[in-house]
């Protein structure tokens, strides 16, 4: 018989998955172009499937699963509009007379923010590192490795498809776009490991 806390977890995770599916359907409806929707939504879909498949072998905290959902929503919103056409950030661009739509910076912030939580729980629960300094160094290195891999995949997509780098990489006129993307991933990781340290540690201990 399923225990009360197991029922509670099942309901919690079912709600998260339902929200994911609803946002994915919304993202797909009236998307700017399927050519960009598929590769930009695919990481969110693969992340969800990966967590479902590995759930019995390794379970993250509810805290992490919640932020994974937020990260997936960020990805799916980006997939719907393409990152440089997000209407809210277009509005912000006009209000503050900015040079570009900065929604992609939000995406890359979460590219560091959420993986840092996941890496921290994985390494901590597995007891891989005894030293906190080494643990945090490897977490940041992991996040930056993910960020660099993503940039290389974008580069490869541009080369293989033949589409201009400006279209695939969404430079929006910034020659330092790749470096800024990695910087925001780093900022996201550091934010996760400092600002959210205590609350995340409490969930790991539970």
Q: How confident is the model over 72-100, as pLDDT tens digits?
A: 999 999 999 988 888 999 999 999 988 88
Higher pLDDT, 117 or 172: 117
| Global pTM value | 0.90
Domain that includes residue 49, residue range: 4-205
pLDDT of residue 107 exceeding 80, the answer is yes
pLDDT of residue 56 exceeding 70, the answer is yes
Q: CB–CB of 116/194 below 8 Å?
A: no
Q: From CA 166, how far away is CA 154, in angstroms rounded?
A: 11
Average of per-residue pLDDT across 11-23: 96
Q: Concatenated DSSP letters for 106-157?
A: HHHHHHHHHHHHHHHHHHHHTT--S-HHHHHHHHHHHHHHHHHHHHHHHHHH
Structure tokens at 192: 């996760």
What pLDDT shows up at residue 154?
73
Q: CB–CB of 36/79 below 8 Å?
A: yes
Total of domains in the chain: 1
What pLDDT shows up at residue 165?
58
Computed over its alpha carbons, how large is the radius of gyration of the chain? 18
Q: CB–CB of 83/110 below 8 Å?
A: no
pLDDT of residue 105 exceeding 70, the answer is yes
pLDDT of residue 55 exceeding 60, the answer is yes
- Express each pLDDT in 150-181 by its tens digit: 888 777 766 776 666 565 556 565 677 788 89
Closest CA to 71 of 22, 31, 106, 33: 106
Q: From CA 9, how far away is CA 1, in angstroms rounded?
A: 15
What pLDDT shows up at residue 36?
80
Give every CB contact of residue 74 below 8 A, 6+ residues apart in sequence. 106, 107, 110
- What percent of the chain clears pLDDT 90, i.e. is strictly above it? 62
């Amino acid at each position: 018989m399923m225990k009360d806390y197991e029922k509670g977890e099942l309901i919690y995770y079912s709600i998260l998955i339902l929200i994911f599916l609803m946002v994915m359907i919304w993202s797909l409806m009236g998307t700017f172009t399927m050519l960009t929707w598929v590769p930009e939504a695919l990481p969110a879909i693969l992340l969800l499937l990966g967590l479902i498949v590995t759930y019995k072998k390794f379970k993250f905290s509810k805290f992490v699963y919640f932020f994974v959902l937020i990260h997936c929503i960020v990805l799916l919103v980006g997939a719907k509009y393409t990152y440089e056409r997000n209407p809210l950030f277009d509005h912000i661009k006009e209000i503050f007379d900015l040079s570009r739509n900065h929604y992609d910076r939000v995406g890359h912030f979460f590219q560091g923010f959420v993986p840092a939580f996941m890496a921290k729980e994985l390494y901590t629960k597995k007891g891989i590192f005894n030293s906190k300094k080494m643990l945090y160094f490897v977490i940041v290195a992991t996040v930056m490795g993910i960020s660099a891999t993503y940039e290389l995949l974008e580069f490869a997509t541009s080369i293989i498809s033949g589409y201009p780098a400006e279209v695939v990489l969404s430079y929006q006129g910034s020659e330092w776009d790749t470096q800024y993307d990695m910087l925001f991933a780093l900022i996201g990781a550091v934010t996760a490991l400092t600002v959210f340290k205590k609350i995340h540690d409490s969930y790991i201990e539970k």
